[in-house]
Amino acid sequence: MSELTLRAEKLDGADELAGLRDRFVLDEGVYLDGNSLGALPANVPDHIGEVVRRQWGELRIRSWTEGGWWTAPERVGDRIAPLVGAAPGQVVVGDSTSVNVFKALVAAVRMARQDGAGERDEILVDATTFPSDGYIAQSAARMTGCALRPVTPAEVPGALTARTAAVLLNHVDYRTGRLHDLPSLTAAVHAVGAYAVWDLCHSAGALPVGLDEHGVRLAVGCTYKYLNGGPGSPAFLYVRRDVQDRFDSPLPGWNSHAEPFGMRPGYEPAAGALRGRVGTPDILSLLALEAALGVWDGVPVEAVRAKSLALTDFFLECVDAYVPAGRVESLTPAAHEERGSQVALRCPDAGEAMKRLIERGVVGDFRHPDVLRFGFTPLYVGFADADRAARVLAEVLA
């Protein structure tokens, strides 16, 4: 048994989060794709069975009130809020990440223009962003009459001008796992009178975000990665309390109306983060997410972050020890302050290598053209998993 394997056993034995693995449905393999789809929390199937049988099957329409369906978007939002550093009443759950990005970005431009400082006819977008965010930014720019300028996050401070209305940024780069400096970038954007919109898809549930602490006004994120909400589970929208009364959604719907059952032809937005709602929420997915969030009971996100960094450090050490020299190159920053909760390795034959890894029970994913991605979800991934994954990778690439 190698020194690294022995060390993995000791680290797992001392891990205060190790027992959380029992809260999930897992097999004997190594699941390192929680940055695409989180594992199934063990309590979800029975809960959803009860929702279907009793709330839908027996109570039927009464469940909108008696089952709490109507208030679920903000109730579940308040469950997510502490995981992203937000006080209650600022997070609403519903729709997809793309839809929420569109709401937030258009609202950001509108608020910047309401502030009355300058022409505000430009949107900056992260040039390395997930494609869908880029598509949404293009549409939002057309809708608001703005020019769209792609820049890397590092270039944002130098690219900001008095014409900048909004800036759409990713907290963690989906390809490389690079963590961007949310506090300083937010401050720079706000200093010129613009609004930052943060995409938290690869950071929510993986590390402390500190939305309230760092003065973020608008943020969105998915719930099916590190929050383990299930495939296609609804996304969340954060609207800081002090801008909620000016949040002008481009998608006003009856669910965000001040009197949703008044059925009036004129739209009057509800107070607070509720104006981020649109239409009828996806109740089954929403309640599955609510149950899934139970795995976080008693778990501080700071402890998750500490284990995440230790896991990714250890995995990189194992890769360096086991994998033949020159076969892979890490794209993930070595510095902790620049790293999310994944490791990205460049490999010339990455697609075939990942296929063979999965056949051997090590599940990560492949990003075109040459990137192997391994997501580390500390709630259910251990150090022995990291050691085994690196060993199998070495055998596949030998």
Looking at the annotation, which residues are catalytic?
A: 130, 199, 224-225, 373
How far is residue 240's CA from residue 96's CA, in Å, rounded to a whole number?
19
Q: Kindly report the length of the chain.
A: 398
How far is residue 310's CA from residue 344's CA, in Å, rounded to a whole number?
16
CB-based contact 177:225 (threshold 8 Å): no
How far is residue 125's CA from residue 111's CA, in Å, rounded to a whole number?
17
Tell me the residue type at 44.
V
Residue with tokens 């990189």: 316
Q: CB 170: neighbour CB atoms within 10 A?
A: 23
How many alpha carbons fall within 13 Å on the CB side of residue 286? 22
What tokens were used for 381? 């991934």
How far is residue 348's CA from residue 235's CA, in Å, rounded to a whole number?
34
Residue with tokens 């697609």: 351
What tokens were used for 11? 């680290």
How far is residue 103's CA from residue 189's CA, in Å, rounded to a whole number?
19
